[in-house]
Amino acid sequence: MKWSNYQQKIFESIAPSHNMLIEAVAGSGKTTTIIEIVKLLKKKGLVSRNNGNGLVCAFNKHIEVTLSQKIKGTKFVSKTLNAIGHGILVRHSYPRQIKINTNKYYSICEQVIDYFSPSYLFELKLKGLVNAEYKGKKNGVIGFERLKARRKSDYPYVFDEFNDFVQVVNTCRKEYSKHFLSIEDLQNLMAEYPLEISDYLKKKELHQTIAVEAINKALEYGINSYLNESTIDFSDQLWLPLTMGLFPITKYDWIIVDESQDLNLNQARLIKVLGKSSSTYIFVGDSKQSIYLFNGAKPDCMSLIKKYFNCNKYPLSLCYRCPPNHLKLAKEYNPQIEAFKQEDGLIKQLTITEVRDLVKGCYQTGTEILLISRLNYIFFDVLCQCAFGDKIKVSLLGKDLAGELVKLARQILPSRFTDFSKINQILNGYVEYYSEQMDSSKADYCKCLMSTWRYIEPSTINDLENVLNSVIISEGVIKFGSIHRAKGTESDHVVILGDNLLPYIPTNRELTSKETQQEENLTYVAFTRSKKNLYLVPYTNGNDEHREVELNLNDDNIFGADINYGF
């Protein structure tokens, strides 16, 4: 294989104790470069049978498996950071078996409220912990809404909603490696992230004191839950080893980190723990593809890594994937990207009818096509048209969105409810409700459900589940997904649905500088998926109705939710 000048420079510069930060643009062959680095280290005897060992940190389980196959026969292993942290916790809890509970801190935060408030309605107001009446039972058809604000002016408060408290606790475990926070730590957190918190908490030190006390109590309960019950969630796999000073048995001489732009601070800290004083670190990533702010990954993560690990920076700027005219769109967001290909590809604007015709043609010929959008319900509406109107089997990128929709339908539509003719009116009400509650994922999912009922009329929720399962398959040539989920994918034919919404700008609030950068990064990701043909489909919906559903810049979970990225 003929290597680019950028790659040759990287290979020539590899040396012990020479830490490297490789800025690899989209489609630059970074995985191929990582594998070649591993082979070179073996060839040079720097990591061989009798000398040294190495680790390739993978972003998720799928990448871990792929890299493991390609570096087989070397002294390198490929693991996710979550898997490494899990192994540390397993060793220190032996012989007890680790139990994973993704709702662990939701329950813990309820316990913290119990701790501060033996009598909910009186003590909560006195302590100022939340602005709400505590709802221990389900609240009508809404269900599972633990706290609902009633009279905000009645008393000062710290958190508007119970979920806001959970959100802050989860974010702390990604930002800090300690379990005792100060007011200054909380202030830094509020300045850094778009947290859903009350104005009182932003402005009044008394409320910050109460909040820190509650957060620290939740963190204390989290540690005790591991020590006494061996219960953890996915964020615990990183946070607990660091905050408790638990160390791995194996440390590595060479550590290569893939997708470095998506590291949060605790992941970076764990990487440091996995090394020796003489270890060499090689970080590979694209700062313009940092799109996981909700998981604590900062848009300037690569710059922080360069400083923290004292790295020398190397560019990998040649894109082998996209035609030159496609990269002209991407260059607005990353001027460093260069085209390897000489011939331009197709860029064409389509209507929804033309998109459906294109999808039908690809389906009949078995040609892969990727259809993506910033907001879930935009691509899901087109998915429904193709699946139900054109009888086409489709696939979804990433998680089981169909399952999440059915789950939400069961929550908001009780089994006794049978009048599905009013479903649109009911779902519209929930869109408004969840938007007011700033639960953007559920508002988005409600719009997806509205698309479903627009094209089919299931008589029960079980029928809804069966119909979705009948048209959505695990592997197919017609692939739909969000831009978040499309990262790491490519296709000859890419359709960007709602390209006129990029970069996405909410109208109900100003974005922070980091949020603005992340939206620009998402636009860059969208424009760098295509290998041949790029189709742009403007989104129109009456009076720009889509902007009624304002997102927290996370198409999957509320900000700070517990997410499994690799175990």
Binding site feature residues for ATP: 24-31
109/115 Cα distance (integer angstroms) = 10
At residue 126, φ and ψ (nearest 5 deg) are -65, -45
CA 186 to chain centroid, in Å, comes to 23
Task: For residue 15, give the nearest of 41, 36, 39 by alpha carbon.
Answer: 41
Cβ–Cβ < 8 Å for 482, 376: yes
Binding-site residue numbers are 24-31
Kind of pairing, strands 491-497 and 530-537? parallel
Residue where the block lists tokens 């029960």: 460
Q: Is 234 in a helix, a strand, or coil?
A: coil
Query: Residue type for 528, please?
Result: T
CA 414 to chain centroid, in Å, comes to 30
464/74 Cα distance (integer angstroms) = 49
447/428 Cα distance (integer angstroms) = 8
Would you report the helix, strand and coil content of the chain in percent, each value rounded to 5? 50, 15, 35
At residue 219, φ and ψ (nearest 5 deg) are -65, -40
391/389 Cα distance (integer angstroms) = 6
